[in-house]
Every structure is written in structure tokens, then in C-alpha cells.
Structure 1
Amino acid sequence: MKKRVIAVFFIFLFFILINFVQASFGVSPGKYVVDFSPGLNQNFTFKFKFDRGAEVDVFASGELKDYVILNTNELIEGGIVEVEINLPQHIETPGINNIYIEAKQRPSSQGGITLAGHVIARIEVKVPYPGKYAEIKLIAPNANAGELVNFTVLIDNLGTDTILAQTALKIFDYQNITKDDINAGVDVINPKSSVARIVSVSTEKYKPGTYKAIALVDFGGIEPIKDEKQFRLGELLVNITNHSREFVRNKINKMDIEVESLWNDPVYNLYAQVSLINYDISFVTPSISLYPWSKNTLTGFFDTTDIKENKFKANITLVYNEKSSSKIVNLSFDKTVNYTLYIVIGIILLILILLIVIVFL
């Protein structure tokens, strides 16, 4: 009886999970972006998708929902929703004002457990700030030391006035020492417009490592605006970051070697040659490739039958791109306590004690 109840429970759970897996809903596109203008009238189209037979309520929400007209307030299994916005002459709040178009599935009239969909699309209305206002974004790509690095400063005029944007770029090393201070030029940017200022920096005198870039843009505001990003300059080097340390005696053991690339290009055909010092034991791992700045694991196998010491050493040599680097590591045998042996010894001692007690009593 108990087994039958358990079987019924798992069958019930299976059908619930099947319903969850089959649940499918979404919207395309997920977002529109529009610049505000007084009295703006514009139409948008969203395509909603729901499960077969799903009954869906459609409605608008957000700061500007009162300026929205929908062609329908309900859908069956999804469909097209046409949205018309008629914005006022003035919006008090500058910045991003969102209109949300929500499609919410009604609970099933048949009862049972279902996964109800709730999908939200968005119309982003960008309202300009009064006067001068701008935002920036710095893009700082990784590169290899010695290469030319092209930084991008994106300047977006979100105000009502035309601005004169003076861009500067500063670069600092890990000790916060200034490596470069570049005057990148001036841009005239109209309202609702943006500029991508490219700043090229030679890194011939830079060492490999991590650096910080700070972009500053003075457009006549209270103070310059800034954005900062870290970037890395690579060298053709693969580091061993971790490895297996403990092994089991008298069997074939697996050894994992974790590696990390410090190069901004792919590293191909990377493999490890491992030799146990003072033993005629060695192995070579299969080769792998590393993406720029990525990590991966090399794996090889060796037999510990001939190793007598508890501790021993291995020389790991990484071979890649006609280059090699070596590291000597400490290894040892697993010190896991053999509880079975201790239990057997304990039982033997207990029997001896009982025999002694019986004999002398």
C-alpha cells in the first residue's frame, strides 16, 4: 500500500513538472525607446505569446499610463497589441519615464496547478533635463602590453541646451600612479544627440597588469562628469593557479592542473608535461585551448605503486605557443584515517579484555 501511494505521488509530481516545462510566454520586442517632444503621438506594436487556450488581460501601467490607448484589453493565446501614445505638452519629471504594457494570464477555470504567465513590455520615454545635462559611458577594452588601445567615451546630451563637451582621459596603474593624462578634444552636441569620442593610447611603455582609466567630460555644468573602468594589458603567459595535492597509494591517480591565461588572444595547444622528481614517472596531459583571460583544467594520470615516501615533488611544465613555463609543486599521499582498521583493532582489544576478565574471575 505504501509503495502504491509513493508511486501515485511521483506520477502526480511528474505531470506538474511537465506543465511547468511546457509553459511558454514572452513578448517581442521587449522595449522601445523614444525621445519626448510636446504632444508626441506615436504608435507601437508588441507581439505577445502565451500557452494554448490561455486567457490574458492586457493593460498599461507606469508614470504615463494615462496617455496610452490600447487596441485590445484581452488576448487568447497571445497576439498583437497596438499601442498609441498621446503625450502631454510638458512632463515634470526629467530622465526616463516608463510606460509598461502588461499581459497577465487569468487563472484557469478548470482548476488544478498551472504556471500563469505575466509578461511586461516597456516604452521608455526620455524626457530632457532643463538647461545643460549630459551623461557619459567609458568603454575600456583589454589588450596586450605594447598594443594601441582604443578607448571610447560615449557622451549623451540629455538636456534642452546644446553643449560644448571637453573630454579628457586619465590612466593610472595599480599603485594609483598616473601613466597618461590626455586632452581628447571638444565636441558640439545638440539636444537629444550623442557622440562617441575615440581616444587612442599607446601602451609601448606599459607593463602587463591591471590599470584604471577615468574619462572626464566638462560641458559647462557644476563640475565635470566622469566614468571609470578597469582594463588589463596582457602578456603571453599561462599560470598554474591550483592543482591536485593528495593522492592514494598503489593505484592509478588522476591529477588536475588548473590554469589561467594572462594573454588577450587565444592560446592554442596548451598541455602539461609532469615529471615526478627522483622517480622515473612522468605523463603528458591532452592539449586544450584557452580563450583570452580564461581559465581551464588540464588532467593527467599516473601510477603511485613505486612511490615509497609520504611526500614527494613534481615538476609541471606548461607548453603553449612555442613557449614553456615550469613550476615545482609539493605532493603527498592522502592522510584519510582508516576507520575500519581502528574498529577491527578495537574489537580485538575488547575481546582480549573480556577473556582476561573471564579467566581471572
Structure 2
Amino acid sequence: MAAKNFPHGRNGEDSPRFQIFILVLLISTIAAPMAHAIGITPAKMSVNFEPELKTTLSQKVFNNDHRDLNAVIYAHGELEPYIRIIDSLVPVKAEEETKEFRYELSLPKDFKKPGLYSAEIVVMELPKAASPGQETSVTALGSVVSELYVRVPFPEKYAEAKLVVETTAIDKPVRFVILLNNYGMQNIVKAKAHLDILGATYEKLGEAETNDISLAAKQDGKIEAQWLNPDIKPGVYHVKGFLDYDGKRIELEQNFKVGSLSIEIIDLKADKFKLGSIAAIDVFLENKWNSPIKGVFGIMTATASDGTEYVKSKTTSIDMDAISRDKITAYWDTRDIPVGVYNLNIDIHYEGQTTTRLIRANVNIDSFRTDLSTVGRVVVGEATKNRDTFLYILILALIAANVGWFIYMKRRKK
């Protein structure tokens, strides 16, 4: 890291910036890696460039250990000259789960070239001082980093794409989803992808074509394709292809799994969902394997269409019986979440494998609609249907029994 020069006097050794720099330098030198007692949200933020834009951004420090602490905030990276930390020292009390801090972003008239510019917003816990007369303690130090991006648009057409392949069973189609962002200042008339599916030795097994869409400048969207081969065997496969948009091309490539040990995501529900609260998102799973699977847990990442990552929630672990259904719960703090559409990337981890599902969620004040179902309201699920069917059969059986008993008693009296 390049050395910083600080002048002496009023803006030198006595300045808060100089003192914070020395403190951070000392902490970075002596702090050993350890579990994070603090966290930061959002984990990633994105701002679209505007000439001489001046805006105040806010994030939150998480007090994971629920204890009194002090945190120092500073910026690092190529955007550092344009960032002024407003709340550079943040005291957090034990009873406070989160504490907000602010910083100001002041952009120039222009950047030399278009693209993505970044900075790290670092939250570092200060060392705890011992009682008077005792040595200073540097235990329980930790730091977390959030990413800040400024997207400078391209004058022409420019798109970026991310390929997501959902894990599937052998007898079901493989779903390929391509997330698109138009980071140019011109509209994209047509975007479409061609995909080749390859085997373990890269032999071609099939191909798939996505639908096509148009994208306005600075907008996002997605295209999809499905592929099914009834003769496919369980294992790892490869997809390779390209996205074509108005004569420009983006190469796409990724491995994916079919069959074998499998846990599927079958539903999402959020009872009594209300924007502004901590929402419990229940992820319903199905174990299709014929033996128990232990230590199943999930990680849910919620990302807005502009790339802002609002939550990365890890669930508790559960053990699933063979050929069974169960659920895990992820928590989403929606207190600072605006109404809108979010991409929920859900990764289910078990026995060294991962099941991935990308779900589009439409978040409103009192509802939460997804690609799978409508949650946040009363929804009749499979269990309810089965229970109702059972009740109907039981009622009919009781009626039949009563009629039979009535006829029997009447004949007996005769």
C-alpha cells in the first residue's frame, strides 16, 4: 500500500484523519484473523454515474455479539478521493443490534473511461481499553468490508450477462437463466443466446436457444432456455455458448450437475409479510434421495436490479429423512428496503454439494410474490390439500357407517 503524506500542524499529526489512519495502521498490523463480531449491510451498493453527482449514502453496522463497541469507518480504493466519511467513529451499545453510519459521495464531471469503478467501505472494531493502570488490550478485533461501485455508462451499446444453471433431477428439464444488464446509453433491440450442452469429455449432447428480449438503456432483464435428454445419466456436465445482442457477442460457459444426490427447492413462503420488519422467509425443501441427508443449510442473497445486495442470510442446519420434505428459514431485514423487484439467489448446501435456485420476487408493502407462488398471504399448499381430501373421505366414511348402522337397527327391530 502506498504511503500517505500528512502535513504537520493543524491538518497534520493533530488532525482526526491522521489519528484514524495511525490507529487503523496499528490495528491492521497486530490484529489476528478471527470471527467477525461486527457486520455490515448492504454488502454491496451500486450508483449510476451522473456528472458532479453529490449524494449521501448510509449503511449499518451489525452488533453480532450484542456488546458495547466502537467502530471506525474508512474508505479504500479508486473511489476514495470522492468519498467523505461523515460518521467516522461509530459507538454501538450492547442493546443496539444495528447502528447507522453515513458518508458522502461527490463525483467529478467525468471519468477518463466508461466502466465500473469501486471502493471498499471498511468497518473496523477499535481495541478495548483496559482499566486505568492496566495495559491496553487488543482482543476481539475484527473488520468487515462492503463494496461500493460507480457504474459509468458506455456511450454505445454495452451489455453484461450472468449465466445461472439450476440444479435439476434426471427426469426434469435443465433450466438456463441469463441475467442481462444494459450498461450502455443506447437501447438494445434484440438479445438472444445459443447454448451447447457438452458431456464429461466435451462431446456435444444437445443445444438450446433462449427467447429474445429488447432492453432500454440502463435497464436489466433475463432470458431463459430449457433442455431435456431422457437418456442422460447422473453427473457433471458443461454448457458453452454465446449471447448475441445487436451484432455484439458475450461468451458464456459453466459446469452444472444433473441427478444424483438431490435436494430440491419446492416453495417459498413468508407468513404475515410486512415491509419494514424482519421477514422470515421459509424455504421448503424435498429430499429425493433414498437415504437421510445431514447438515442441510441454505444461503439466501437478495439483490436489487441495480446490483445492490441487501442481504446474505445463512439458515440453521437441519437433518432430512429419506424421501421427505422439510423447511429452513432465512431472515431478511426489510426496514430499509424499497418496494420493487429483487433476485433471490438461494444456495442449499449438503454433503459437499449445492442446489441453486434463482427466484424473482416482487416486494410490496404487505405482499411478497415470487416465480414459485404468492407468499405473505394465505396460500393453500399441498399439505392443506391432502388434509382436506383426508377429511372429506373421513366424513363420507362416517356418513356411510351411520346409514349402514341405521338400516341394520331397523331390520333388527322387524
- So what's the TM-score if we normalise by structure 1? 0.54
Offset at residue 217 of structure 1 (A): 0.7
Structure with the greater alpha carbon radius of gyration: 1
Is residue 45 from structure 1 mapped to residue 58 from structure 2 by the alignment? yes
1:102 partner letter: V
Task: Say if 1:57 and 1:73, in contact at 8 Å, map to a contact too.
Answer: yes
Distance 2:261 2:144 in 1: 47
Q: 1:57 to 1:289 in 2, by over 3 A?
A: same
2:87 is the counterpart of 1:72: yes
1:174 aligned partner, one-letter code: A
Question: Which residue of structure 1 aligns with residue 149 of structure 2?
Answer: 124
Asked if 1:143 corresponds to 2:143, the answer is no
Determine whether 1:30 maps to 2:43: yes
Shift in alpha-carbon separation, 1:290–1:226, aligned structure 2, 3 A = farther
Residues 48, 150 of structure 2: 8 Å contact kept: yes
> Does the 8 A contact of 2:211 with 2:225 survive in 1?
no
Pairwise mapping of residues 196-235 of structure 1 onto structure 2 (< 5 A)? 196-220=222-246, 224-234=249-259
> Measured at CA, do residues 72 and 290 of structure 1 come closer, stay the same or move farther in structure 2, by a change above 3 Å?
same
CA drift of 1:29 comes to 2.8
Same amino acid, percent of matched pairs: 23
- Amino acid of the structure 2 residue aligned with 1:233: V
- 1:265–1:143 distance in 2 versus 1, CA, 3 Å: farther
Deviation of the 1:189 alpha carbon:
1.7
Distance 1:129 1:174, change over 3 A: same
Q: Aligned partner of 1:125: which letter?
A: V
Q: Is the 8 A contact 2:211 2:224 kept in 1?
A: no
**Corresponding position of 2:121:** 101
The corresponding residue for 2:356 is none
- Say which SS state the counterpart of residue 123 (structure 1) adopts: strand
Secondary structure of the structure 2 residue equivalent to 1:98: strand
* Cα pair distance change 1:88/1:145, threshold 3 Å: same
Instruction: Tell me what 2:275 maps to.
Output: none
Could you tell me how far 1:56 is from its partner in structure 2?
Answer: 4.2
Aligned residue number for residue 219 of structure 2? 193
Give the whole-Å Cα distance in 1 for the aligned partners of 2:163 and 2:34: 41
1:266 aligns with 2:291: no
Q: Give the Cα separation in 2 of the matches to 1:235 and 1:49.
A: 39
Shift of 1:199: 0.5
Q: In the alignment, is the contact (CA less than 8 A) between 2:192 and 2:212 conserved in 1?
A: yes
- The aligned counterpart of 1:289 is 322
Corresponding residue to 1:169 among 181, 188, 195: 195
Q: 1:273 aligns to what?
A: none
> Whole-Å Cα distance in 2 between the matches of residues 69 and 182 of structure 1?
49
Call closer, same or farther: CA 1:230–1:109 in 2, change over 3 Å. closer
Q: Is 1:70–1:83's contact at 8 Å kept on the other side of the alignment?
A: yes
Q: 1:205 to 1:107 in 2, by over 3 A?
A: closer
Alpha-carbon deviation of 1:152? Answer: 0.8
Give the conservation status (yes or no) of the 8 Å contact 2:195–2:240.
Answer: yes
- Aligned pair in 2 of structure 1 residues 161, 114: CA closer, same or farther (>3 Å)? same
Q: 2:103 aligns with which of 58, 70, 83?
A: 83
Summarize the alignment of residues 267-346 of structure 1 with structure 2, pairs less than 5 Å apart: 267-268=289-290, 289=322
User: What's the CA shift for 1:288?
Assistant: 6.2
Structure 1 residues 191 and 289, CA gap change in structure 2 (3 angstroms): same
Matched letter for residue 80 of structure 1: E
Say which SS state the counterpart of residue 224 (structure 1) adopts. Answer: strand
The alpha carbon displacement at 1:218 in A equals 1.6
Once residues 237 and 213 of structure 2 are traced to their aligned partners in structure 1, the CA distance between those partners, rounded to angstroms, is 27
Letter in 1 for 2:210: A
The code of the aligned residue for 1:35 comes to N
The separation in 1 between residues aligned to 2:238 and 2:35, in whole angstroms, is 47
Q: CA deviation at 1:72?
A: 2.8
- Give the stretch that moved more between structures: 163-172 or 287-296: 287-296
Superposition TM-score, scaled by structure 2 size:
0.48
State the 1:135 CA deviation.
Answer: 2.0
| Aligned length in residues | 234
The 8 Å contact of residues 43 and 146 in structure 2, kept in 1 or not, is answered as: yes
Aligned-residue Cα RMSD (Å) equals: 3.7
Higher strand residue share: 1
Task: Tell me if structure 2 keeps the 8 A contact 1:138–1:215.
Answer: no
For 1:24 and 1:127, locate their aligned partners in 2 and report how far apart those are by CA, in whole Å. Answer: 35
Q: Look up the equivalent residue of 1:266 and give its one-letter code.
A: K
Mapped partners of 1:138, 1:35: distance in 2: 23
C-alpha change, 1:207 and 1:49, in structure 2 (3 Å) is closer
- 1:46-98 CA deviation, whole Å, 9 max, x = no partner? 22356866454433332223333433332334743122323223122433322
| Residue aligned with 2:175, SS | strand
Task: Name the SS for the 1:43 alignment partner.
Answer: strand
- Note if contact 1:97-1:124 (Cα within 8 Å) is conserved in structure 2: yes
Shift of 1:194: 2.0
| Structure 2 residues not aligned, in runs of 5+ | 1-32, 94-98, 263-285, 293-319, 325-347, 353-414
Q: Displacement, 1:168?
A: 0.9
**Which amino acid is the alignment partner of residue 289 of structure 2?**
V
